[in-house]
Chain A
Amino acid sequence: MNTSVRMIIVLTVIAVLAGGILSTWDGITRPKIAQHRLEELKAAIAEVLPAYDYYDQVEAGETTFYIGRRNNVEAPVGIAFKAEGSGFQGKITMMVGLKPDFETLTGIKVLEQIETPGLGNKISVDPSNKENPYWFAEQFRGVQTAPEITVVKNRKPTKNTEIEAISGATISSRAVVRILNETIRKAKQLYLINRNRDGNRNG
């Protein structure tokens, strides 16, 4: 057989086999991976919002709002959305939960970050605090967002808009707060515009 014909046949056989095997494998693993993603998302929403029975998903521009609701109650219990921005080393992504007026935080959870291990990465988990490794995120629960959230260093917060910085990682702590202040303001506008528009359509 001519060499170039053989070359083409061999490469075609390899490509077809590889394609076949991979598409079969795709069929097996894709639903599992999608399920993990959904579970992760649900867990994050559940962590930042007050107890709810179900949540609605509303798309507004590039942001998706997850609106937690109770059965037979018209007003939502809280609204969650993903916030992102740059930290000390790179992008920080968080799930943010708020009361429907966008004035009170109900919780935050850091989803992705590449802050410095041992310092800045304490924004997601702090192994040096044995009693509560998640203290940094948890102190945001109940914090007021207006006029804006502020960071205090080396002391306990005294006002309800303050949170305490991680010692040795002030920039990462500030970055989290800056991202929150910026995204909450934008999300509030986006959400209200969207609701009014929907409201007008319904009425």
Chain B
Amino acid sequence: MAKKNVSLSAEFLKGIWNENPILRSLLGLCPTLAVTNSAINGLAMGLATIFVLVSSSILISLFRKRIPHQVRIASYVVVIATFVTLADRYMAAYYPVISKALGPYVPLIVVNCIILGRQEAFSSKNGVGRSILDALGMGTGFIMVLLVLGSVREILGSASLFNFTILGDWFHPWMIMILPPGAFLTLGLLIGLANWYNEKRGIV
């Protein structure tokens, strides 16, 4: 089972940069692009995704030996969809404004490839402890990119950050940044920057 001798901290840290789900593996792009028109939306989406990712990882790594190989994907999908429903209803009941802003992108966490991918690649082969660390690391890497994108787009597109105006009247907001093209352009530039930085550090 424990085929690798990876330290626990490395298990957590890999998701943040070296195996960052968005910048390195290009997974979970739909929510990344769709909800990052403001920092608060990115944060809420990131937290909901982390909740689903960590809870599913715990459950699946606990029962990994009891789930027959043939029905594993179906089982993962039901587990994930259940947690997504819990998160979605929780937000609708207690944070109706954010829930409305995110709209159908919360239920779309079900098909976020990061979550199913981590279950298949990690939780189904590792113990609970490591699976939690892996999920937290991947989740942190995900939410970081969401926050960066959301902040950049909100500052340039609405002259504010977390709804507080930070740029004065001299700044004319770049409307394009909060529109769909801005999402694609910002993510494209971010991926390019990440590649450049990685090459400088010698990671390919």
List residues of chain B with CB within 8 A of the CB of A29. Answer: 89-90, 92-93
List residues of chain B with CB within 8 A of the CB of A11. Answer: 71, 74-75
Determine how close the nearest CB of chain A comes to the CB of B41; give it in whole angstroms: 13
List residues of chain B with CB within 8 A of the CB of A119. Answer: 175
Q: How far is the CA of A126 from the CA of B136 in the complex (A)?
A: 39
Q: How far is the CA of A118 from the CA of B177 in the complex (A)?
A: 11
CB–CB A118/B173 < 8 A: yes
Query: Nearest residue in A to B37 (C-beta to C-beta)?
Result: A117
CB–CB A10/B86 < 8 A: no
Determine how close the nearest CB of chain A comes to the CB of B188; give it in whole angstroms: 20
Q: Chain A interface secondary structure, helix, strand, loop or mixed?
A: helix
Q: How far is the CA of A122 from the CA of B178 in the complex (A)?
A: 14
User: In chain A, residues 56-99, which have Cβ atoms closer than 8 Å to a Cβ of chain B?
Assistant: none
List residues of chain A with CB within 8 A of the CB of B10. Answer: none
CB–CB A118/B175 < 8 A: yes
Pick from B70, B75, B79: contact of A3, CB below 8 A.
B70
- The yes or no answer to A18 lying at the interface (CB within 8 A) is yes
User: In chain B, residues 73-116, which have Cβ atoms closer than 8 Å to a Cβ of chain A?
Assistant: 74-75, 78-79, 81-82, 85-86, 89-90, 92-94, 96
CB–CB A22/B70 < 8 A: no
Determine how close the nearest CB of chain A comes to the CB of B87; give it in whole angstroms: 10
List residues of chain B with CB within 8 A of the CB of A3. Answer: 68, 70
Number of interface residues of A (CB under 8 A): 22
- Given A22-B85, A25-B89, A26-B89, A6 contacting B96 (CB threshold 8 A): no
CB–CB A10/B93 < 8 A: no
User: In chain A, residues 119-150, which have Cβ atoms closer than 8 Å to a Cβ of chain B?
Assistant: 119, 127
Q: How far is the CA of A33 from the CA of B79 in the complex (A)?
A: 24
- The yes or no answer to B66 lying at the interface (CB within 8 A) is yes
- Given A116-B179, A117-B179, A18 contacting B78 (CB threshold 8 A): yes
CB–CB B71/A7 < 8 A: yes
List residues of chain A with CB within 8 A of the CB of B194. Answer: none
Query: Nearest residue in A to B96 (C-beta to C-beta)?
Result: A36
CB–CB B67/A10 < 8 A: yes
Q: How far is the CA of A28 from the CA of B157 in the complex (A)?
A: 38
Q: How far is the CA of A201 from the CA of B37 in the complex (A)?
A: 55
- The yes or no answer to A192 lying at the interface (CB within 8 A) is no
Q: How far is the CA of A20 from the CA of B82 in the complex (A)?
A: 10
CB–CB A15/B78 < 8 A: yes
CB–CB A118/B178 < 8 A: yes
Q: How far is the CA of A111 from the CA of B132 in the complex (A)?
A: 41
Determine how close the nearest CB of chain A comes to the CB of B186; give it in whole angstroms: 15
Q: How far is the CA of A116 from the CA of B182 in the complex (A)?
A: 13
Determine how close the nearest CB of chain B comes to the CB of A21; give it in whole angstroms: 6
List residues of chain B with CB within 8 A of the CB of A190. Answer: none
Determine how close the nearest CB of chain B comes to the CB of A15; give it in whole angstroms: 7
Q: How far is the CA of A7 from the CA of B89 in the complex (A)?
A: 30
CB–CB A14/B37 < 8 A: no
List residues of chain A with CB within 8 A of the CB of B81. Answer: 18
CB–CB A10/B179 < 8 A: no
CB–CB B71/A10 < 8 A: yes
CB–CB B175/A22 < 8 A: no
CB–CB B82/A22 < 8 A: yes
Q: How far is the CA of A153 from the CA of B86 in the complex (A)?
A: 49
Q: What is the interface of chain A, defined by CB distance below 8 A to chain B?
A: 3, 6-7, 10-11, 14-15, 18, 21-22, 25-26, 28-29, 32-33, 36, 116-119, 127
12 other A-B residue contacts (CB within 8 Å) besides A18-B78, A25-B86: A6-B68, A7-B68, A10-B67, A18-B79, A22-B86, A29-B89, A32-B93, A33-B89, A117-B157, A117-B178, A117-B179, A118-B179
